[in-house]
Each structure stands twice: as C-alpha cells, then as structure tokens.
Amino acid sequence: MSSLTQIVKKAFTGNRYRNPIERAHASQLRTLKKLLLKAGNTQFGQFYHFSDIVFNDKVMRLFREKVPLSNYSTMNPWWQKAYAGEESVTWPGKMKYFALSSGTSEGASKYIPVTKNTIKFITRGSAKQLLRIARCKEIPAGVLNKHYIMIGGSTTLQFNGVNFSGDLSGITSGNVPFWFEPYTKPEPQIRALKDWHSKIEDIIENAPNWDPGTIAGVPAWIKLLFERIIERYNLKSIHDIWPNLTIYIWGGVSVEPYRKSIDAMCGKPLNYWETYLASEGFLAFQARPYVSGMRLLLNNGVYYEFVPFNDDNFDGDGNILPHAKALSLMEVDEGVDYALAITTCSGAWRYLIGDTIRFSSLKHVEIKITGRTKHFLSLCGEHLSVENMNDAFNFVSNEMGLISNEFCVIGVTNDGPLGHDWYIGSDKPFDTELYKQKLDAKLGELNDDYIVERTHALTRMNVTYLPNEVFNSFLESQGKGGAQVKFPRVLKGKIAEDWVKFVKCL
C-alpha cells in the first residue's frame, strides 16, 4: 500500500496553497465569479440578479451593493425551503445534508446546508494541511503513515424523509475518501454510535489496537479521552500506549486552557496544529509551526468579506447595523478585529458566521480567531473580547499554579453596580480574592477601555471557584454533551440564568 503522504501528494500535485498577498485578490475574484455563475439559476441567484453581477467589470463592488449582508435569521427562510425538499434554492440541485451547528451550549441548533462541493473542499483543505505538516522538519518520518484518530460526531444522521442532518464532523466522517479510510480511526461502526459516552468507551476499549501518529478533536474531549485511557490501562502517559502519537490538530476554542493538562499526560511533546473548520466550510489552517495564525484558504469554495467590529457597524449586543460596510481581503489591515462574512459553495451568501478574526500577517494571509460577535462584554464601554478574557485567564491561572481548563463570565446589569461575575474551573480550590486582584490587573494591561470603566461605572467584580468537571456536567444537563460542543465564555440571557441556577444547586 502506498504511504498516505504519497497518496496525498499525488492527488494534489500542482495545487499551490502558499498564496502571497499579491495573488490573494485575483484568487478571491475567481472564487466569487465561480460561485455566482454556479448559483445564477437558483432561486436566490435570480432574486438578486447574479447574472447582472458576474458579467460586470466591478463584480466585487456590485456584489456588495446588490446582495445584503446576512445572518442565520435572514438566510434560514431560504434554507428551510431546501430542507423541505425544494431544489436549487440557494445552490443548484437538492440539498442532501444539513450540519447541526451548536458549537456552544446556548440557543437552539442551526441547520446549515452542506453540499457535495463543501465535502470536497473540506477534504482538499485537510489534505493541504497534512502536506504542510509533512514538510515540517520537526515531524519524524513516517508519522503521517500511522493511524489518524478523529474524535467527532456520529455518522448516524437524522433523516427527515428528504435529507440528512447531524454534526458536520459526522457528515465528513461518513464521507471519508477511500484512500484515507485505511488510516482513519475509530472504525466505521464506532463512528456510527450516537451515544457519546458509548463511543468514548469503545474508543478506550480499542485504544491498544491502534497506532496513531495524529489525533484531532476539541481540546476538552481530547483531555478527557487521554485521562480515561491512562486510568483504564494504568499508564504513566498516553505515549505508553500510543508511542508514535506526535501531531494534535485542534480548533473551535483556544487550546491554551487545556495545554498544560494535555502536556502533563504525554511522555514527549505533542506538535500542535490549529485548524478553522466551521459548519459552513474549511476556512483556514495553521501552515507554519509555532506561529499563532492560520492561513486563509483562498481557493477552497469560499469568498471572504470582513466587517470592522466596531460601534459603526455593530450595536452593543453584537447585532450588525443596517449601514454596516464590509471590506474585501485587499482592504483590510493587520491588528484590527473584523466580523467574518462568507459566501460559500453550500449556498451561504455574505453570511456572518458569528466569529471575529484579526489578521496576524497579511504577507502570509494569516488570521487569528479573536472571539464571537455575541460573546464579548461591553456593559458600559469596556469592550472586553474573548481574546482578552482567554489571555488574562491563562496568565493568572499559570501564575497561581492552577490547572484551569474552563471559565465563563456573566455581565451583571441589575441589582446594583455594573460588573462581571467570573466562574473559574480549577483542579483545586484557590484564593478567589487574590485571583480577582490578579485577573483585574491583567485585564487592565490588555485593554485600556477596561481600565477606564473599572474606575467609573464598572465597579463590581466577583470570582467563584468551581471544579473543572462542573462545566462539562452543565453541558450534559443541557443535553449538549458531545465532541463538537464548546463551553461559551460569555453567558447571556437564558443560558446565564440556567448556569446560575445550576451552580447554586451544587
């Protein structure tokens, strides 16, 4: 059997994914034209006159003028028609798959269309990242020819008589290319299990039979899996059973709160590689080792736009304003937060996916995820981002010698002064007053607006200690356990009310 590296190289010979900034604009223009041409005869394309846009010499400008920025509430009426079985609504043909997007525990699941083109481009993006990793001199020869463990959702999908729905990871795991299947673990019968705890148990049971070089999954569940395997087989480290495990591919949340815990269970260092695989498509991956940034996939069925995440374009709750303006790739700057809008081969059009990003390198077209448009705190102008919260949480927990994996924050606007209530998960109890002082000081270092408001309107700050496992228990109580669920860092509305009630009952 040919090695996996040889198969991937043969399949993608000639595909150059190192896009310097001077080629980015041309690549994105071609992508937009292809998407408009392909969807020209759909209901959406006819409604917005795609044929007039695509043949204009100012395609990008006309596209912005004629097609409004959208979100789930505005795209969903179109997608519901496809879900009911109508053909060629926002993308040609009948929609076979819908991804259930419930990355955090808040709100009802969203049904995001997934086409054959989407699956093809996800496969292509994954192969490109593996090729990039293979070129890294730190990766020992032969590691990519070992097993590849994917901790994802069930391949047993819901069927409504017309189409299938489930986690995107379950959809893609059920469509693994034939050349990759021999390397993929767990086996199809385990991937098909719907009960998450049964799946984890079967993975643990089969762990001695596998020889992985790579593992991929959400950090919280990789940590849990390692703990359970080490406990079951009475090991000193995960490398006692998987000696060739070298690569960890992660995404969805910051890995930093979990890195210390994961590293402590390893007999040798893991090589961490970040990926940006959203329910709407494969958007970016880390292309350079030890670099905090992911390279946008510019020729992968996605056209990108960037809305400056500021008061001119968004209200205090993170809702986009009617006059908001989006920028093309060639109009952005480094160091500025943007809400990401994408147009895709799944029939999403100028769709705000809810993430905020920042360009860490325009030369390499690399981005960092900085948070969510709805997951930030600005009760009185403090403009505290998830990135600020992550950085401060990691710094203080490390300084105090804690193994802290989870946290969340609630903005308090009633019953007295404005403020933030922090809930910190840790492996052991700690001095919450000292933690609060250090956390407050670090947030002030990271955010000038926070300093100003802390001396005026924002006078309340509380820190509550909780064992790490409480956060997963809450997700389970909400019916949100599983491989793709991440704990939201900022709690608002009903989810905040449910959390406070849950904590009081502990």
Residue 189, judged by CB atoms within 10 A of its CB (0-12, 13-18, 19+), counts as: exposed
Alpha-carbon 415 to chain mean position: 35
Same domain for 86 and 212: yes
Q: Is residue 331 part of a domain?
A: no
Q: Is residue 202 part of a domain?
A: yes
Banded pLDDT at 268 (limits 50, 70, 90):
very high
pLDDT the model gives residue 461:
94
Banded pLDDT at 11 (limits 50, 70, 90):
very low
pLDDT the model gives residue 68:
97
Write out the residue range of the structural domain in which residue 464 sits.
Answer: 386-504
Q: Is residue 105 part of a domain?
A: yes
CA end-to-end distance (rounded Å), the chain: 55
Contact 481, 472 (CB under 8 A): yes
In 413-457, DSSP assigns E strands to 418-426
Residues 6+ apart with CB under 8 A from 272: 248, 250, 255, 259
In this predicted model, which residue has the larger pLDDT, 196 or 471?
A: 471
The rounded distance, in Å, linking the Cα atoms of 497 and 104 is: 16
The rounded distance, in Å, linking the Cα atoms of 383 and 478 is: 29
Same domain for 295 and 404: no
- Tens digit of each residue's pLDDT (9 = 90 or more) over 364-419: 999 999 988 888 888 888 888 888 999 999 999 999 999 999 999 999 887 678 99
Q: What is the pTM of this model?
A: 0.85
> Which string of DSSP letters, residue by residue, matches 292-329?
S-EEE-TTSSEEEEEEE-STTTB-TTSPBPTT---B-G
Banded pLDDT at 5 (limits 50, 70, 90):
low
Q: Is residue 460 part of a domain?
A: yes
The rounded distance, in Å, linking the Cα atoms of 252 and 487 is: 10
- Tens digit of each residue's pLDDT (9 = 90 or more) over 176-203: 888 888 899 999 999 999 888 899 999 9
pLDDT the model gives residue 13:
44
Q: Which residue has the tokens 């098909």?
A: 192
Q: What is the DSSP letter of 183?
A: G
Tokens of 190: 């385990």
Banded pLDDT at 17 (limits 50, 70, 90):
very low
pLDDT the model gives residue 12:
45
The rounded distance, in Å, linking the Cα atoms of 66 and 82 is: 23
CATH number at residue 80: 3.40.50.980
Same domain for 143 and 34: yes
Q: Is residue 117 part of a domain?
A: yes
Q: Which residue has the tokens 């670090």?
A: 442
Q: Is residue 157 part of a domain?
A: yes
**For strand 302-308 and strand 281-285, is the pairing parallel, antiparallel, or unpaired?**
unpaired
Report the percentage of the chain scoring pLDDT > 90. Answer: 71
Same domain for 185 and 46: yes
Residues 6+ apart with CB under 8 A from 383: 376, 447, 449, 450
Alpha-carbon 488 to chain mean position: 12
- On the question of pLDDT at 290 being above 90, the answer is no
Read off the pLDDT of each residue in 72-86 and give the average, rounded to a whole number. Answer: 96
**Overall domain count for the chain:** 2
Q: Is residue 352 part of a domain?
A: no
Banded pLDDT at 138 (limits 50, 70, 90):
confident
- Tens digit of each residue's pLDDT (9 = 90 or more) over 154-164: 999 999 999 99
As a whole number, the mean pLDDT across the chain is 90
CATH number at residue 440: 3.30.300
Closest to 298 in 3D by CA, of 334, 254, 342, 332: 342
Q: Is residue 316 part of a domain?
A: no
- Tens digit of each residue's pLDDT (9 = 90 or more) over 473-485: 998 888 776 656 7
- On the question of pLDDT at 505 being above 60, the answer is yes
Banded pLDDT at 20 (limits 50, 70, 90):
low
